[in-house]
Amino acid sequence: MTFHRCACLGIVASLLMIEACSTTAPTTATTTTTATSTLITPATSALTIGQTQLYTYSTATSANIITWTSSNASILTIDGTGLATGIASGVATITGTLDTGTSSTLTVQVVPNYQGSWAGTETVLECTAVDGFASAGYCSQIASSVQQWTLTLTQTGLTLSGTITKSEGANVLNGVVTATVGGQGDIVSMTGPLGGVANGMNLLVTPIAWDSFATGSSMRGNWSANVTSSQLAGSATVQWSLTGSGQLSASASRGVPGASQAVPSARRGAR
């Protein structure tokens, strides 16, 4: 009896030891933080100089007092009603703060107004030709020429689209283009080839780089392109400097379509 009892106790002790060793250590819960989207509406993050946009605080009620501020009033101003106005190129953050202590922010980039019709001249800065273009002396033909250009652009935020023309000798090349406004407010890219017949052959001018900046109704910058022809072997790579002036479309400065500019109630827009 004693032997059996001891044996049983030994077996039970062994089982308890095995269970203790096999117990899985508790895991630490992982907390995931989700970025909160802005409560400022509409979330319009790009305005042109002179454009106005009325912002609201989406969770505010008529009983709330909202304080509106801009991180840089020299770039973007915002009044007590939430009406913001683009002043100069740059980036500013607007903040809406409720009297309950909650607040939300929205970063807005202010860029030049490019919407409208532009016209100017361009001169060759550099030209490199290979194969048939080199044999034909293409670069020497255009080296001292002053060419005319036009741009007609529509602007939506940081995206531009429209048409372009460029003189080539006594002829004109034209095309449809799209472009992008960069972080400094300049046009940093443009795509869309220009084509046409010039000097008795079909020419295709494909932009490979574009950098121009508008100050009011004046534009300056550089651009470069590859020039090819279906009737001539090889190609030429040309870089131009450009200057021009514009007749800007007023619609780009009237605010975002659908944005009401009525002044809200005194309490809702109070500072």
Task: Write the DSSP string, 103-169.
Answer: EEEEEEEEE----EEEEEEEEEEEEEEETHHHHTTHHHHHTT-EEEEEEEEEEETTEEEEEEEEEET
CA distance 113 to 49: 6
How does DSSP classify residue 232? E
What is the pLDDT confidence band of residue 250, given thresholds at 50, 70 and 90?
low
Examine the pLDDT at 225 and tell me if it is beyond 60: yes
Query: Which regions of the chain carry the CATH code 2.40.128?
Result: 116-249
For 7, residues 6+ apart whose C-beta sits below 8 A from its C-beta are: none
Topology annotation, domain 40-111: Immunoglobulin-like (2.60.40)
Can you tell me the mean pLDDT for 151-169?
96
What are the pLDDT digits (tens) for 59-71?
999 999 999 999 9
Q: Tell me how far apart the alpha carbons of residues 177 and 149 are, in angstroms, rounded to a whole number.
A: 13
pLDDT higher than 70, residue 234: yes
Residue 60, amino acid: A
The per-residue pLDDT for range 169-194, each reduced to its tens digit, is 899 999 999 999 999 999 999 999 99
Topology of domain 116-249, per CATH? Lipocalin (2.40.128)
For the chain, give every residue range classified as CATH 2.60.40.1080: 40-111
Helix-strand-coil percent breakdown of the chain, rounded to 5? 15, 50, 35
Q: Which pLDDT belongs to residue 200?
A: 87
